[in-house]
Homo-oligomer: A and B are copies of this chain.
């Protein structure tokens, strides 16, 4: 048996969460909001990748935009987590660049560790089950696999990419037969029935060398510029500012498209049975009527949230009602995906103060 690998958590905090407007804002996107528990999604993410147990986690690194450096530092301090680094992206360059930077940072700063690349804005109800899944993936990752995590579909969701599982590799881990982009409804229903398809949770576990090699093979410009942006970075305590010119020169592409759909090293841990949700829309947050700031009389199936104003609702069903001090959202749950249309409208009206 080999030595147990150290896991280097890499928290990707680049999301905007516009479908959770009006609470999610540019200056405070959804990952920093206490949407499910008293901790923010970002704090939950950091906490589930700490401690020992099934796996040994190193202190996390966070990759985010400059606008969020302060809130990241404050929220980590709030939960007693000291980050190894807060890496500032001078501009957004999508997840392939982040995966490359994470690999380069880990190879240099934590040699021998595996990278665990995870979005900051997911909720996982059962952190122990998540850590157990990471432990399952660590063996194949240490041998060069780029490991994804597959969630068993509970509905024919058309908003996620799907992973088709192939031949088993080890306990709970399989080869990836294919990555499937967001399907139409009919295809999603077939996926659901077949049982061989998982939702792609957007979490990746890999050895730095493996990722660096695949990026060099399939997206060499990304690997080159990301590594240069890191080697020329400016350091200030835990803050690490990637070089602006080199990072801007890095092509923007997703890790799925740039690497995963092309590599022969893809593996999947599945099913990840940990109560995973990406809180993609208000419908992921049922309830809210028990808040003392809410009076929901004769209401049914509502999603109600407030960060201050009192909400009085009477006789409504299957409705989303969200109030902040300066904005209110009302929509049927069936239109939860269309909240971004309000964002578009606000942009058209020049209301940047509400974005």
User: Which of chain B's residues have a CB closer than 8 A to the CB of A346?
Assistant: 295, 310, 312
Which of the residues B310, B313, B327 comes within 8 Å of A312, measured between beta carbons? Answer: B327
Which of the residues B311, B327, B345, B354 comes within 8 Å of A330, measured between beta carbons? Answer: B311
User: Which of chain B's residues have a CB closer than 8 A to the CB of A327?
Assistant: 309-312
Among listed A70-78, A137-145, A316-324, interface-contacting one: A316-324
User: Which of chain B's residues have a CB closer than 8 A to the CB of A310?
Assistant: 22, 326-328, 346, 351, 354
Assess whether A198 is interfacial by the CB under 8 Å rule. no
Assess whether A80 is interfacial by the CB under 8 Å rule. no
Assess whether A292 is interfacial by the CB under 8 Å rule. yes
User: Which of chain B's residues have a CB closer than 8 A to the CB of A54?
Assistant: none
CB of A316 within 8 A of CB of B345, answer no
* Chain B residue nearest in CB terms to A315: B335
Assess whether A297 is interfacial by the CB under 8 Å rule. yes
- Whether A334 touches B315, Cβ cut-off 8 Å, given contacts A323-B328, A325-B325, A349-B292, is yes
CB of A331 within 8 A of CB of B345, answer no
CB of A312 within 8 A of CB of B345, answer yes
- What's the nearest-Cβ distance from chain B to residue A26, in Å? 15
Question: How many copies make up the complex?
Answer: 2
User: Which of chain B's residues have a CB closer than 8 A to the CB of A315?
Assistant: 331-332, 334-335, 338
Interface residue ranges of A61-87 to B (CB < 8 Å): none
Which of the residues B297, B309, B328 comes within 8 Å of A341, measured between beta carbons? Answer: B297
Prevailing SS type, chain A contact patch: mixed
Assess whether A199 is interfacial by the CB under 8 Å rule. no
User: Which of chain B's residues have a CB closer than 8 A to the CB of A197?
Assistant: none
User: Which of chain B's residues have a CB closer than 8 A to the CB of A309?
Assistant: 309, 323-328
- What's the nearest-Cβ distance from chain B to residue A339, in Å? 7
* Chain B residue nearest in CB terms to A334: B315
* Chain B residue nearest in CB terms to A341: B297
A321–B321 alpha-carbon span in the complex (Å) = 10
A325–B310 alpha-carbon span in the complex (Å) = 9
Which of the residues B306, B312, B345 comes within 8 Å of A22, measured between beta carbons? Answer: B312
- What's the nearest-Cβ distance from chain B to residue A70, in Å? 26
CB of B331 within 8 A of CB of A316, answer yes
26 A-B pairs whose Cβ atoms sit less than 8 Å apart in the complex: A21-B312, A292-B349, A295-B346, A295-B349, A297-B338, A297-B341, A309-B323, A309-B325, A309-B328, A310-B326, A310-B346, A311-B328, A312-B328, A312-B329, A312-B331, A313-B331, A314-B331, A315-B331, A315-B332, A315-B335, A316-B330, A316-B332, A323-B323, A323-B328, A325-B325, A330-B330
Return the 4 tightest CB-CB contacts between A and B, nearest first.
A312-B342, A314-B331, A310-B327, A315-B335
